[in-house]
Amino acid sequence: MNNLLKLLVLGAVFAAVSSVEVRPHAAGSEQHEKTVREGDAVRDESVDNYITMVLENFAIAMRTGIPILGIPILDPFNISKLDLPTINTSMLRLEANASDLSVSDTSSYVPTYVHVDFETNAMYLNLHFLDIRVDGDYWCDGMAAVIFPVFGDGFFYINIMSIDSSGLGAVIITEDDHLQITELSLELAYDRLEIYFDNFLGGGDFGEEVNQAISVLADTIVQEILPLLNTAIIPALVVYINDALMQITISDIIGGGSV
């Protein structure tokens, strides 16, 4: 039996736990006209464009880290060990763990939508990733279809394909006219997983059961990694954006000023 198994499985949505409820973002075709400040009501695309530029710069910072801001290298993002929950379905029971994980291409996003709504003190953003790759070692042992042993121990990789991240943040304007983010949450959704697990054995001639076991194991690993990514990236992103926004006032952004 060929132990080198590679397959595509359907993805799922993981919602990051946060104090801010994530809402659907506005349609990408919506146009926001540039306006001037009128009391607390400001809708100015120059602010959105400035934050878009900062998001693009953060992608570079993720690969180098910024010690002065306390931002570590986030691409790659390393995880020493994942103790996975027991997988228990009608067709599969599996104990597993993953170790020496490297999550790469976390900085490969493109901002596709950014908008600050000053009337509601909210910031909306969307990021698109082509893929994020997970490499590491795994171990598993269990039973498929009640009677067939399945087990494995070795190298694996998972490509998380076509990821969209939508975010909602709360913002304030300080007394000295600087925009600051006070809360931010992100919701991640992916299309599918591309999977490779070396030395995955068992199931006899029941390839379907083996494939199902690998698919469930890969999805479990991804669902454990995504909240760890959010926990690491969101605070760093807020610090980075807020630092950039402290370099220039809202009035200067709207008026075409520079840092």
Specify the amino acid at residue 20: V
**Would you say residue 20 lies in a domain?**
no
Tens-place pLDDT, residues 93-148: 999 999 999 999 999 999 999 999 999 999 999 999 989 999 999 999 998 877 78
What's the whole-model pTM score?
Answer: 0.79
What is the enclosing helix (H) or strand (E) of 72?
Answer: none
**Would you say residue 77 lies in a domain?**
yes
For residue 135, the enclosing domain spans: 40-254
Q: How many CA atoms lie within 13 A of 249 on its CB side?
A: 8
**Would you say residue 245 lies in a domain?**
yes
E strands, the chain, in order: 5-10, 13-15, 77-83, 87-88, 92-104, 109-117, 122-144, 148-173, 179-197, 200-202
**Domain count of the chain?**
1
**Would you say residue 17 lies in a domain?**
no
**Would you say residue 123 lies in a domain?**
yes
Tens-place pLDDT, residues 28-85: 323 333 333 333 334 468 999 999 999 999 999 999 999 999 999 999 999 999 989 9
Q: Which of 229, 214, 235 is nearest to 14 (CA)?
A: 229
**Would you say residue 109 lies in a domain?**
yes
In the chain, helix, strand, coil percent, each to 5? 25, 45, 30
The CATH number of the domain holding residue 161 is 3.15.10.30
**Would you say residue 22 lies in a domain?**
no
**Would you say residue 232 lies in a domain?**
yes
